[in-house]
Amino acid sequence: MKILVAEDEMIMQKTIELRLKKDGHEVTTCSDGREAIQKIEEINPDLIITDIMMPFASGLEIIEAVKRKGDKNIRIIVLSAMGQENVVLEAFQLGADDYITKPFSPNELSMRVKRYSVDTKEVTI
Amino acid sequence: MKSFLLRKLSRLQNNILYGMSFSFLVLLFFILFIFKNDNTSENIPIAITGAIIAFVIILVFLFKIDEDRKSGKIAKNDLAANELKYRNLIENAGIVMYTTTIDGYITFATGKAFQLTDYSIDELIGMHFSDIVDIEWLEIANKKYRRQIENNIDETFLEFAIRTKFGDLKWVEQSAVLVIENNVPVGFQCVIKDITEKKEMEEVVRKYEVALVQNQERLQSILDNATSLIYLKDLDGRYLLINKQFKQVLNVTESTVIGKTDFDFNAEEQAKRYKETDEKVIKTCKPVEFEEIIEMDDGKHILLIIKFPLINAQNKLYGISGIATDITERVMQREELIQAKKVAEDAKRLQEQFLANMSHEIRTPMNGIQGMTDLLLDTDLSEKQHDFAKTIKRSADNLVVIINDILDFSKIKAGKLTIEKIDFDLNEIVENVTAVFMHRIREKGLTFTIDVDKNIPPVLKGDPYRLNQILINLLGNAIKFTHTGGITFKISTQEKNNQEVTLNFSISDTGIGIKNDKLNEIFESFTQASVETSRKYGGSGLGLAISKQLLELQHGKISVESEVEKGTTFHFSIPFSCSKTNHKLFFRGKKLKDYHGFLQYKKFLVAEDNKVNQKVIQNVLLKAGALADIANNGLEAINYLKENKDYDVIIMDLQMPEMDGYAATKYIRNVMNISIPIMAMTASALKGEKVKCIEMGMNDYLTKPFDFSLFYERIKMLLDHQSHSDSIEEIEDVDNNELFDLSMLEEMDDSEYLSEILWMYLSHTPVELKELRESVASDDFETVYKIAHKLKSSTGLLKATALFDVLEKIEETAKLKNKNELIVLESLLNTEFNKLEGPLNEYLKQSKKLIKVD
């Protein structure tokens, strides 16, 4: 799967990137909202993993951008911190598919992502 | 009018016939008479008129008589009818009425009397009134009625008991009217009512009342005799009830309290407080307990007050009750106990301190003597010098044994002795022990047989030092008390499974033996087989006692068999765990010179205050080809490090003046961020020491005095970046778990990734922390929040919970824009991060090594 990771915290970014790369996905990373929206146009990812709080554009705005684009097959997983439940709800309202609370184990992320890769596989078939 | 006439007429009718017939006869007589006397027809109308008149007169008379007779009859009929009516009324109403003569004989009774008395009316009539009355009441009844007669009382009432024909008791209420005729009392007319049921009911009520009163008395008794103050208040806080103690203690009466609230006789503040607790009870409908200090005549008293809700049968809260108990004395006792506990704890601490200090004070010079003697023996000596040196060594060794015994004994008594759990080689120990005694055995011309079971695993987990100690004690005794023959030393396996193996040891000798009655005592401290024994053979008398204690601490057992003049056998067993590690960790008994070049060119920093020990260590290190800088205390060591961080190992004595080993290590790790391995040297082996050492950041430790080969091997391990995991494994885990947990990162199974992450964390975080500090200083709360939030991610990934918590707190506090608190939190943040740095660095180094290997 083509995955776009939007996370401004380096260690998190690296961890997610490495975990997903090891699982065999094609991973692109970016560290702010503006860049993220750009990259969405460029690479057309199957799955976007985005943090909620980021410079220039928040995770929610990224979701909006994706929905505006109109591509129904892009899945979105949101990374939230504890206590940000209401934002998560908003994200879901805007169209996010899943969320993980930090701190999370990389294996958990890996498993969640796998779920979506199955879906997309079916779509392509 | 018509009916009247009709009646009259009907009455008349009957009599008219009589009258008419009679008057007709009279008329006939008249006529006959006239006709007989006179033949005149003029007399006939006179005669007829006369007859008619006579007829009428007779009729009238007859009429009158009849009427008289009739009204009498009617009257009589009326009377009878009335009487019947009356009687029916009485019978139907269930009233029992009866009459008696003046003497009391029953002359008449209504039908219901049968139901009442079971006597039939016929039976009753003629019976005496007293035949019915219950014996208990006879006198009273008789008295009453006699008086009635005497005093001419019209009507009396009496409640009494009667007995029926069958002996049943019934209660009655009787109204007795005195019948008087011609001013003379002739009898009684009584109306009697069955009130048995009523009486029974009264009895029940009475019983209830008695019980009620009794209950009330009991409750009142509780209230009156209770030693606590008890009161009731309604929901408005008005007092409804107070008990005796309440009145006494607070010096009040009912009138001053009942109906009033706390505000009426307490200071406003106090009353307010009371009201608060009242309201709490009402609101939560649960009891509330609290302590209150009140002033009494003899000073301050502490009351324990429990207020609880009063709930009625309809489950409604209707008031509050309070019970106040004087706990002044108890509180004093409590305080005393706390104080006593503190004193006891202080004493305990002092004792521990003393033990530790004593250990150190005694062992340090001993260490010096032994070390020096070893070094001396390693130099070129003349035969005489060598001999002398050996003697010194033997004495020193003996002395050490005795000192250790005494210290051990004190430790055991204080409950402070710890048993090791490390890997060791049993054969090693056997060899060692044998070597110790071989000389003396040969000297005495004894035989020595060793029999070690082949099935014993090569590496066992337990306490080799204590095993050594026990064997030396027992073998030493065996040799001491045997003059001819020999000694047999056997080791066999008793039980074995994958986890554990129990070894049986037996040491038999052909010595002087022990008397039967002394066999039990020998394991007791300070006892020897006999007074002579101690004089002849010496010894502290502690050996066996300590051996026994040591065995028991290791869950082992010891026993002895003996026959005087024949010999003695000591048996003991110890369970050991099977070790997982392999042989390679174990060293063979090497001599100092075998370590030549062992630590070639390695640089050591030694912090030790004792000059002799300094010399010993220095020499030991030099012998192995190492270079050593000696510092006299922690401060000097730090100064050395400030100038040069190029050491491979730091050897840190724990007890030093100016700055001890703990403080120095802490500084080196946390402030200087130096992760050079530190080997602690401690004279004491108290339980807490180990943990403390590791917490401070030391990698390993040795207890003085130590075997130099052990010293070498452990240093080697440090240099190879493998801490002696077995001996301190439990504690290491504890330490890391508290600070951080890299399991999430390790999931990736990628050491390169791990190092990169750790490196990133360790290098970025300080920068972020600096920025955070600046933001706090410049009141930039938004940035503070952002930085804290950012750091949370990675900190969370490393599961550094303490640090994480501080970051969260900072987030919250930044939102509230509380600068003062932020300053405090920021400094705490730095402290927490500093705690992490050392261990994380360590980890980083280790994982880097793995990368190199890969």
* Global ipTM: 0.74
Quick count: other Cβ atoms within 10 Å of Cβ B344? 10
- Chain A residues with CB-CB distance to B799 below 8 A: 103
Bridge-partner residues for B108, per DSSP?
Answer: B99
Residue with tokens 């209830």: B208
CB contact under 8 A, B748 and A106: yes
Question: Are B748 and A11 in contact (CB < 8 Å)?
Answer: no
Is B681 or A117 the better-scoring residue by pLDDT? B681
CA B501 to chain centre: 41
Cα distance between residue B808 and residue B792, in whole Å: 7
The A residues from 60 to 119 touching B (CB cutoff 8 Å) are 81, 102-107
Q: Which of A15, A22, A107 sits opposite B797 (nearest CB)?
A: A15
Give A4's pLDDT tier (boundaries 50, 70, 90).
very high
**pTM, two decimal places:** 0.34
Give the residue-averaged pLDDT of A94-120.
Answer: 78
Say how far residue B172 (Cα) sits from the centre of its chain: 64
* Residue in B closest to A21 by C-alpha: B748
pLDDT of B724: 37
Regarding predicted confidence, which is higher, B529 or A58?
A58
Burial (0-12, 13-18, 19+ Cβ within 10 Å), B195:
middle
Q: Closest Cα of chain A to B729: distance in Å?
A: 26
Cβ-proximal residues to B246 (8 Å cutoff; 6+ apart), any chain: B229, B230, B231, B252, B257
- Per the document, the length of chain B is 854
Instruction: Give B-chain residues touching A8 at CB under 8 angstroms.
Output: 790
Give the pLDDT confidence score for residue B585 in this predicted structure: 46
Phi-psi region of B526 (alpha: psi -120 to 50; beta: other; left: phi over 0): left
Q: Closest to B796 (Cβ–Cβ): which among A103, A106, A107? A: A103
The predicted-structure confidence for B370-396, as pLDDT tens digits, reads as follows: 888 888 888 889 998 998 898 898 888
Side-chain-side CA neighbours of B330 within 13 Å: the count stands at: 7
pLDDT value of residue B730: 37
Specify the residue for token string 């005794």. Answer: B477
- How confident is the model over A59-69, as a mean pLDDT? 84
pLDDT of residue B594: 67
User: What b-and-e string marks burial along B448-479, b requiring 16 or more CB atoms within 10 Å of the CB?
Assistant: beeeeeeebeebbbbbbbbbbbbbbbbbbbbb
From B557, B553, B483, B565, select the one nearest B529 (Cα to Cα): B565
Instruction: Say whether residue A12 is in contact with chain B using an 8 A CB cutoff.
Output: yes
Using a CB–CB cutoff of 8 Å, tell me whether B801 touches chain A: no
Regarding beta strands B567-578 and B459-462, do their DSSP bridges make them parallel or antiparallel, or are they unpaired? antiparallel
**Cβ–Cβ < 8 Å for B560, B571:** yes
Residue B586 DSSP label = P
- Output the pLDDT for position B36: 66
Is the pLDDT score of A52 beyond 50?
A: yes
Q: What is the DSSP pairing of strand B603-607 with strand B627-631?
A: parallel
> Bigger pLDDT: A88 or B344?
B344
What pLDDT score does A123 carry?
A: 39
Give the residue ranges of chain B where pLDDT is below 70: 1-19, 23, 34-44, 47, 66, 70-75, 94, 525-541, 580-594, 684-688, 721-738, 848-854
Determine the Cα–Cα distance for residues B757 and B754; give it in Å rounded to an integer.
5
Determine the number of helices (DSSP H) and then strands (DSSP E) in chain B. 27, 22
Q: What local confidence, expressed as pLDDT, does residue B497 receive?
A: 78
User: What tokens appear for B66 in the block?
Assistant: 């009849």
B790 in helix, strand or coil? helix
* Best mutation target, B757, B794, B804, to test chain A (most A CBs within 10 A): B794
